């Protein structure tokens, strides 16, 4: 009940921020001029707002997007209001592991540092279909593409953290929908079975995978002693292009839950907070909502499930080579 009260009133939590906080507010006073950030899906919605605000604070932002025209337009829009912004664009189709590898190769060829990786892009509630690699589309785009991307960029993040002394941060955008998934959490055996498919549960499954990925990666990085944190966030309910497959349903839900919805600047706040705020130095393997730590689904604490997902994801990546 307290959480609901904070959500609808915007009353700040322990961090000093809440559901009404905006991305600009949570980064106020931040000097990000020494930071380089990659934002997947940075051409629209909360990804674009995240890119805009990090660039406003001085960061060098790389927008990773499938639609390069949209990415170019996003860059122009940011530069119109901030001529000094450092913005680059690179094509990335997360549903194609070949495209993920091509993106990583192009980025690494630029010999840039990498301090922040924001795995923001996603799709939601789409009809059953397989990716270019023969993997259920929501799982492929929301989880597996980001899993491979993160792995391909991890050594660059480690070397950047080592050479600069600046903590690296990885942020996975999950969703409160991770609570609504298949019974076992991840439906390993029937991932690509159209008869077992539920567009809502498949989305929840991919969002649970985002948190499990962050937890397992965080565990591995801790064992190595790497100066990189990995956290997950629920940005909130925001009407963006993510909901194009369910506009009627979501608009109907919004009529009855309008007090719980955020605008785009508010929707990008938790991402920006977790990616940059100094109060979160050393904080890892946590799940955030409304700029405050929140308890996720109990399945997130299942270390075996997280390890199984990691191994399953590695096998899928290898099989697509």
State how far the Cα of 51 lies from the Cα of 28, in Å rounded to an integer.
15
Can you read off the two tokens belonging to residue 80? 């119109």
> Could you give the C-alpha distances from 194 to 127, 258, 309, 310, in angstroms and in order?
10, 34, 20, 23
State how far the Cα of 45 lies from the Cα of 68, in Å rounded to an integer.
15
Can you read off the two tokens belonging to residue 297? 């689904």
Q: Are 136 and 209 in contact (CB under 8 A)?
A: no
Can you read off the two tokens belonging to residue 153? 């960029």
Helix, strand or coil for residue 286?
coil
Q: Is 197 a catalytic residue?
A: yes
Count other C-beta atoms under 10 Å from residue 162's C-beta. Answer: 12
> Could you give the C-alpha distances from 301 to 65, 246, 292, in angstroms and in order?
32, 30, 19
Give φ, ψ of 127 to 5 degrees.
-60, 160
**Catalytic residue (choose from 11, 197, 258, 287):** 197
> Could you give the C-alpha distances from 317 to 66, 187, 305, in angstroms and in order?
20, 17, 18
Which of the residues are catalytic? 197
């Amino acid at each position: 009940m307290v959480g609901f009260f904070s959500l609808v009133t915007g009353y700040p939590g322990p961090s000093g921020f809440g559901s009404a906080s905006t991305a600009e507010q949570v980064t106020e006073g931040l000097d990000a001029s020494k930071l380089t950030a990659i934002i997947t899906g940075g051409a629209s919605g909360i990804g674009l707002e995240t890119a805009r605000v990090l660039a406003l604070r001085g960061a060098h932002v790389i927008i990773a997007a499938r639609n390069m025209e949209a990415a170019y337009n996003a860059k122009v829009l940011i530069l119109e209001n901030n001529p000094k912004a450092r913005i680059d664009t690179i094509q990335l189709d997360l549903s194609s592991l070949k495209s993920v590898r091509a993106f990583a190769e192009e980025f690494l060829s630029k010999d840039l540092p990498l301090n922040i990786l924001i795995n923001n892009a996603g799709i939601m509630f789409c009809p059953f279909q397989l990716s270019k690699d023969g993997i259920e589309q929501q799982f492929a785009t929301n989880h597996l593409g980001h899993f491979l991307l993160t792995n391909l960029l991890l050594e660059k993040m480690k070397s950047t953290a080592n050479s600069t002394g600046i903590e690296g941060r990885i942020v996975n955008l999950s969703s409160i929908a991770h609570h609504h998934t298949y019974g076992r959490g991840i439906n390993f055996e029937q991932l690509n079975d159209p008869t077992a498919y539920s567009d809502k549960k498949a989305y929840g499954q991919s969002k649970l995978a985002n948190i499990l990925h962050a937890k397992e990666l965080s565990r591995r990085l801790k064992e190595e002693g790497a100066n990189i944190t990995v956290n997950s966030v629920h940005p909130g309910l925001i009407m963006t292009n993510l909901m194009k497959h369910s506009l009627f349903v979501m608009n109907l839900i919004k009529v009855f839950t309008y007090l719980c919805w955020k605008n785009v600047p508010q929707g990008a706040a938790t991402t920006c907070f977790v990616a940059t705020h100094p109060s979160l130095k050393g904080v890892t393997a946590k799940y955030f909502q409304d700029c405050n730590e929140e308890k996720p689904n109990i399945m997130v604490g299942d270390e075996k499930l997280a390890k199984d997902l990691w191994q399953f994801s590695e096998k899928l990546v290898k099989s697509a080579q």
